[in-house]
Amino acid sequence: MLVEHKLGFPIRLFIYFLFCSSQFASSQLPWQYNTSLLNSTAGLSTSWTNRPSLTGNSTIVASRMTPILHRGNTGPRFLCGFACNFNVTECFFGVILFRTKNEWVNYPQLVWSANRDHPVNKDATLKLGQDGNLVLTDSNGTLVWSTNTASKSVAGLNLTEMGNLVLFDKRKHPIWQSFNHPTDSLLPGQNLDSGRKLVASISASNQSQGLFALTVLNGFWATYTDTDPPQYYYASRYPVNSYFSFDGQTLTALQYPNTSTAQFMKLGADGHLRIYQWDVVDWKEVSDILMPYAGNRGTCGYPMVCGRYGICSNNGQCTCPAEEKFFRPFSERKPDLGCSQLTSINCNSLQYHSFVELKNTTYFSFYFNHELSSSILWLEGKQLEDCKRACLSNCSCKAAVFEYDWNWNGTRRGNDWNETRRGNCLLLNEVFSLIDNEERKDKTVFLKVQNPSKAQTQSPIIPGGKKSRPFKVIIGATLAALFGIILSISSCFVIFKKRTYESRKSEDSLDLEPILPGILTRFSYNELKIVTQDFSRKLGQGGFGSVYEGMLSNGTKIAVKNLDGVGQVKESFLTEVKIVGGIHHINLVKLLGFCAEKSHRLLIYEYMVNGSLDRWITHEKQENGLTWQTRQRIISDIAKGLAYLHGDCSHKIIHLDIKPQNILLDQNFNAKISDFGLSKLIDKEKSKVVTRMRGTPGYLAPEWLRSEITEKVDVYAFGIVLLELLCGRKNLDWSQAEEDVHLLSVFRRKAEQQQLMDIVDKKNEDMQIHKEAVIERMSLAAWCLQGDFNKRPSMTLVVKVLEGLVSVETNLDYNFTSQPEVEARNHQMEATSSPKLPSVLSGPR
Ligand SMILES: *[C@@H]1O[C@H](CO)[C@@H](O)[C@H](O)[C@H]1NC(C)=O
Ligand SMILES: *[C@@H]1O[C@H](CO)[C@@H](O)[C@H](O)[C@H]1NC(C)=O
Ligand SMILES: *[C@@H]1O[C@H](CO)[C@@H](O)[C@H](O)[C@H]1NC(C)=O
Ligand SMILES: *[C@@H]1O[C@H](CO)[C@@H](O)[C@H](O)[C@H]1NC(C)=O
Ligand SMILES: *[C@@H]1O[C@H](CO)[C@@H](O)[C@H](O)[C@H]1NC(C)=O
Ligand SMILES: *[C@@H]1O[C@H](CO)[C@@H](O)[C@H](O)[C@H]1NC(C)=O
Ligand SMILES: *[C@@H]1O[C@H](CO)[C@@H](O)[C@H](O)[C@H]1NC(C)=O
Ligand SMILES: *[C@@H]1O[C@H](CO)[C@@H](O)[C@H](O)[C@H]1NC(C)=O
Ligand SMILES: *[C@@H]1O[C@H](CO)[C@@H](O)[C@H](O)[C@H]1NC(C)=O
Ligand SMILES: *[C@@H]1O[C@H](CO)[C@@H](O)[C@H](O)[C@H]1NC(C)=O
Ligand SMILES: *[C@@H]1O[C@H](CO)[C@@H](O)[C@H](O)[C@H]1NC(C)=O
Ligand SMILES: *[C@@H]1O[C@H](CO)[C@@H](O)[C@H](O)[C@H]1NC(C)=O
């Protein structure tokens, strides 16, 4: 309903003028209803007729209301009664949450309704009969809804302080209560028990049950499409913020913070689960709870974000599968409405079914479905051909999603994998939005299509990919390809030599190595399965692999990273682990142990309670963002950690992928760098090009192009992180106006105009108070971002600046991306391979 505010403004005005003119004579304005005249309980043999007497301030669903019961004089106030649209053509009996302003019923929210799928008219009646049954009857006499509580010794009806509508007996025990029959919202104190569900509305203006639902199942709380079978898009065993609790059986909405602020949780028509709170004059969204797969890159993990068959790419852009013979957008102008299949699947002509293959594409339910339902639609250990065959042979299958399993050891031959490789296969009987898979390239979606009857049947696969991309991307890609060719030629020789050497060695080095001396613990795969409860709590997912939470028998929490690119020789893995394990510094995430068993390669890290820095930068985690003091400490922690890696420890280590996702925070907001040294652990063959061009777009120093990589690339990336932390936004932020997408260009512009305070994070007053210090840190960032890496300070020097021992260089060039090649490179990165680099999330979280 909040979504309606924007749409609703003209309507609001309309309402306002209509009433100002038509009811001018009336002494009491229609929204100035004295609610304190209403009762909060009612006895048997009472009935009420729907004749709206109350006008709400601005919602479509509850524009006009017939109050029946009322509760609450401070804090949240509730009405039980009829809520109608403005023309009183659709009414719902339900519970309404509202705030008052001078006795106005302000922005009422329908938080529960009895008849969401069957709206009633004016003059509908609600009757609490002598028998104790509460019955809703439409104006023409049709029975619409009842509580079926006849002869259950009901004594009366009560609207409680929490907004629960209760039929109680003589001893005041509840016989029936609305809290047990939720619609799409939960109020603080309300439980969602195992087996019950919330179902979202169709849209903001239509209350009928829509596509999305939330339930509690097998110890998880999960959101899914309310289809048969359901497709899950989020699941968790834990609450993820303080607005609700979850114990495996019951999800309870909580009053948070501990004040009397009116608040509710609602599953929206778009599948988002949000918390709303009354904020002085209006409802404000305070939390968007879910983080579905791909959620860290926008909204691609939501099932209908691009409509059916639409492909969602990193920043929420929608396209249709490229084969125009089979798919067209419903609307060229609104690509998020999805794509229509030109010829629908005909079950009487199976021989004309084939697939459109979408490489590097995945599907939202791939990660959650098998955890929640042991459905026949999830097949493990299948070969690619089996998966496709399974889908072709069942007409109700509309698509198959396949992923090779890197851990599959059954058909391994040396270091080579071929068609006998196996993996996981998900069959779908309904296809919602697809995800352009940015990080992991080993997934493929096969969309079933119907060929025209005389068409080519010899080739069951029509190869192809996603729709062609914009022009500048093509230029970027071409440049990149050229670059890639040069690179591969130059590195071919080296790789070739190395490979022959390593593969010779690999065959005989698979015995157990001697245990590493000292601190590092070697875990067996089975032990890790136990401590992570069979890898059930995923903390994150990234190119290097997935990170899971675990708990050792002594109660220590750990983060277990399951590395993906595990083709490499065990010996070199152990060498690198030894090096990384030997590095200790308070600002580096500690490696506690590892597992190298058969093809499994896992690293065990200390657990960092407050997760990664990126979520704090954009305030996802905290309303006002971090205080200046905390930010300063974080900056200094990162600088010290990097200085140590670059100079102080015995092996000089260039991190190569400094970014907020790789900065983790402990319970006291001490920052620690993660994933250092990992670049060497990754299978070199899996990422030929990437080994050279590591890193993440937005954080890449200009010299990446010239292949002259020094530790100054980390200094550059540190500069970006520093700037992001000061400005409270990401370097590349597509939600900004076009000229503001790149923080660096904004920075340059504002520096030239001497208006740097404009870009400082405004969510926290604290930042404005420490103006001078903040500006000073900005010039440090500028120093670190110098296009010529020789001009950047070393990290040791940065630490000295932070300690106040050295001052920042004054002759600085604010044209940070002076090299023209850099622009080309960045474009290519953003548009094509950017998200595909293997480390959008590479830290243990
Ligand atoms: C709704 O309430 C706001 C503030 O409470 C007020 O400014 C506005 O005029 C009201 N609109 C209507 C249609 O009553
Ligand atoms: C509402 O009714 C109560 C009880 O009759 C009365 O005390 C109060 O003044 C009324 N409020 C207004 C705004 O009329
Ligand atoms: C409140 O309850 C009393 C007694 O049951 C009843 O007489 C009165 O009409 C009720 N008031 C309203 C506004 O329904
Ligand atoms: C309400 O009724 C009026 C007149 O009957 C009509 O013009 C208007 O479109 C209706 N509004 C809505 C929201 O249905
Ligand atoms: C009463 O009205 C509803 C909708 O307004 C309609 O579906 C139903 O058939 C009507 N019933 C009778 C008995 O007329
Ligand atoms: C109605 O609910 C309130 C709590 O909100 C409670 O104090 C009161 O006793 C209840 N009344 C009856 C009759 O159950
Ligand atoms: C709400 O959606 C249902 C189901 O699609 C439809 O039957 C009904 O007409 C819609 N109501 C309105 C007011 O659009
Ligand atoms: C919230 O406030 C209540 C009453 O003051 C208190 O009993 C409760 O412990 C508080 N809860 C928290 C989490 O502070
Ligand atoms: C790997 O092989 C071992 C025995 O050779 C077997 O027990 C294990 O299940 C296999 N793992 C997978 C993932 O197939
Ligand atoms: C794949 O490996 C199997 C077993 O080694 C072999 O028989 C088959 O010929 C290989 N296929 C290809 C295409 O290399
Ligand atoms: C075909 O798939 C549907 C679910 O999509 C399933 O219910 C049905 O049993 C399958 N039929 C066969 C023959 O496997
Ligand atoms: C998919 O990823 C692979 C591996 O990086 C790449 O070679 C290929 O071009 C990609 N395919 C498409 C259609 O994007």
Q: How far is the CA of 405 from the centre of ligand 4 (A)?
A: 58
CA of 409 to the centre of ligand 9 (A): 6
Task: Reply yes or no on whether 336 is catalytic.
Answer: no
Ligand 3 site, residue 40, Cβ cutoff 6 A: no
State the DSSP H helix or E strand holding residue 665, giving kind and residue range, or none if neither.
Answer: strand 663-665
Distances (CA, A) of 101 to 31, 57, 95, 423, 823: 10, 10, 19, 60, 54
CA of 210 to the centre of ligand 7 (A): 10
CATH 3.40.50.300 fits 1-181, yes or no: no
Of ligand 6's listed atoms, the one at least distance from the Cα of 172 is 14
> Within its chain, how far is the Cα of 657 from the centroid?
22
Ligand nearest to the CA of 168: 6
pLDDT of residue 708: 62
Q: Superfamily assignment of 614-832 in CATH?
A: Transferase(Phosphotransferase) domain 1 (1.10.510.10)
Q: Phi and psi dihedrals of 107, rounded to 5?
A: 40, 60
Q: Are 657 and 839 in contact (CB under 8 A)?
A: yes
> Burial level of 547, CB count in 10 A (0-12/13-18/19+)?
buried
Query: Which residue has the CA at smallest separation from atom 14 of ligand 4?
Result: 87
- The protein residue whose alpha carbon is closest to atom 2 in ligand 5 is 140
Alpha carbon of 65 to ligand 2 centroid (Å): 20
Stretch 708-737: mean pLDDT: 87
Position 144 pLDDT exceeds 90: yes
Beta strand 311-313 pairing with 434-436: parallel
pLDDT tens digits along 777-796? 999 999 999 988 889 999 99
pLDDT tens, 393-413?
A: 999 999 999 987 655 444 444
Does residue 199 contact residue 226 with C-beta atoms inside 8 Å? Answer: yes
The set of residues, in sequence order, having a beta carbon less than 8 Å from that of 456 and lying 6+ positions away, is: none
Residue labelled with tokens 């019951």: 250
Considering the chain, what percentage of its residues have pLDDT values greater than 70?
Answer: 74
Q: Give the span between the Cα atoms of 741 and 826, in whole angstroms.
A: 13
Contact 144, 138 (CB under 8 A): yes
Burial class (CB within 10 angstroms; exposed 0-12, middle 13-18, buried 19+) of 9: exposed
In sequence order, the β-bridge partners of residue 400 are 427, 446
- The verdict on the CB of residue 396 being under 6 Å from ligand 11 is yes
Instruction: Read off φ and ψ for residue 789, nearest 5 degrees.
Output: -65, -20
* Average of per-residue pLDDT across 116-143: 96
Q: Token pair of 383, please?
A: 């070969």
Residues 560/547, Cβ–Cβ less than 8 Å: yes
Strands 353-359 and 663-665: unpaired
Distances in Å between the alpha carbon of 197 and those of 18, 193, 246, 302, 798?
40, 8, 14, 18, 54
pLDDT digits (tens, 9 = 90+) for 96-123: 998 866 556 788 999 999 999 999 999 9
Alpha-carbon distance 397 to 697, whole Å? 38
Cα(322) to centroid(ligand 12), Å: 15
How far is the centre of ligand 12, averaged over its atoms, from the C-alpha of 480 (Å)?
Answer: 14
**Predicted confidence band of residue 831 (pLDDT cuts 50, 70, 90):** very low
Whole-number Å distance between alpha carbons of 596 and 478: 40
Q: Which amino acid is at 48?
A: W
CA distance 702 to 695: 12
* Nearest residue to 633 via CA among 669, 588, 589: 669
Q: Which DSSP category does 612 fall into? A: B
Confidence class for position 576, pLDDT limits 50, 70, 90: confident
User: For residue 227, which ligand has an atom nearest its CA?
Assistant: 11
Q: What is the CATH number of domain 521-606?
A: 3.30.200.20
Q: Could you tell me which residues are annotated as the binding site for ATP?
A: 561
Per the prediction, the chain carries an average pLDDT of 78
* Residue among 142, 143, 145, 208 to mutate when testing ligand 5 (max atoms within 8 A of CB): 142
Q: Residue 372 in contact with residue 235, Cβ under 8 Å? A: yes
Position in ligand 4 atom list of the atom nearest CA 86: 13
Q: Is 43 in the pocket of ligand 6 (CB under 6 A)?
A: no
- State whether the beta carbon of 38 lies less than 6 angstroms from ligand 3: yes
Which CB contacts under 8 angstroms, 24+ apart, belong to 83-89?
Answer: 83/56, 83/108, 83/110, 83/113, 84/50, 84/52, 84/122, 85/60, 85/61, 85/205, 86/11, 86/15, 86/60, 88/52, 88/64, 88/121, 88/122, 89/119, 89/121
Q: Which two tokens stand for residue 559?
A: 């983060």
Instruction: Tell me the domain boundaries of the chain.
Output: 1-181, 295-409+420-455, 521-606, 614-832
140 lines ligand 5 (CB under 6 A): yes
pLDDT for res 501: 36
* Segment 427-485, tens digit of pLDDT: 999 999 999 876 555 689 999 999 876 544 333 344 344 443 344 444 444 445 544 44
Helix (H, G, I), strand (E, B) or coil at 287: strand
β-pair partners for 278: 283
DSSP 730-795: -SB-TTS-GGGSBHHHHHHHHHHTT-GGGGS--S-HHHHHTHHHHHHHHHHHHHHT-SSGGGSPPH
Distance 84 CA to ligand 4 centre (A): 13
Q: How far apart are CA 510 and CA 503, in angstroms?
A: 12
pTM: 0.59
Mean pLDDT of 797-803: 90
Are 425 and 401 a contacting pair, CB within 8 Å?
A: yes
Whether residue 754 has pLDDT greater than 60: yes
Quick check: CB of 687 below 6 Å from ligand 7?
Answer: no
Strand 422-428 vs strand 461-462: parallel, antiparallel, or unpaired? unpaired
Tell me how far apart the alpha carbons of residues 195 and 371 are, in angstroms, rounded to a whole number: 17
Name the DSSP class of 611: -
pLDDT of res. 405? 67
Compute, in angstroms, the gap from residue 533 CA to the centroid of ligand 9: 19
Lining residues, ligand 1, CB within 6 Å: 12, 15-16, 31, 57-58, 101, 106, 281
* pLDDT tens for each residue of 259-302: 778 899 999 999 999 999 988 778 899 888 887 765 545 688 89
Residue 400: what pLDDT? 95
**Residues marked as binding?**
561
Average pLDDT over residues 358-384: 79
The answer to whether the CB of 750 falls within 8 A of the CB of 756 is yes
What is the mean predicted confidence (pLDDT) over 194-209? 94
Q: Which of 78-92, 369-383, 658-672 is predicted least confidently?
A: 369-383
pLDDT band at 25 (very low <50, low <70, confident <90, very high): very low
- What is the Cα–Cα distance from 597 to 610, expressed in whole angstroms? 31
Best of 39, 45, 47, 128 for a ligand 3 pocket test (most atoms within 8 Å of beta carbon): 39
93 closest CA partner among 50, 56, 129: 50
Phi, psi of 732 (to 5 degrees): -105, 110
**Residues ≥6 apart with Cβ < 8 Å to 820:** none
Atom 11 (ligand 6) nearest CA: 158
The helix/strand/coil state of 399 is: strand
Task: Say if ligand 10 is within 6 A of residue 418 CB.
Answer: yes
User: Considering 564, 657, 675, 761, which one is annotated as catalytic?
Assistant: 657
| Burial class of residue 642 (count of CB atoms within 10 Å of its CB; 0-12, 13-18, 19+) | buried
Ligand nearest to C-alpha 278: 1
Pocket of ligand 12 contains residue 441 by CB under 6 Å: yes
CB distance 618 to 764 below 8 Å: no
Separation between Cα atoms, residue 234 and residue 220, nearest integer Å: 10
Atom of ligand 12 nearest to the CA of 464: 13
- Summarised one tens digit per residue, pLDDT across range 612-659 is 898 888 776 566 678 888 899 999 999 999 988 887 656 678 888 888
Q: Do domains 1-181 and 614-832 have the same CATH topology?
A: no
Please tell me the predicted confidence (pLDDT) of residue 623. Answer: 66
CB 304 within 8 A of CB 290: no
Distance between CA atoms of residues 535 and 173, nearest Å = 44
Query: What is the token pair recorded at 754?
Result: 């001497």
Q: How many angstroms separate the most distant Cα atoms in the chain?
A: 97
Q: Cα(284)–Cα(57) distance, rounded to whole angstroms?
A: 16
Q: Which atom of ligand 2 is nearest to the CA of 34?
A: 1
Q: Which of 143, 117, 134 is CA-nearest to residue 44?
A: 134
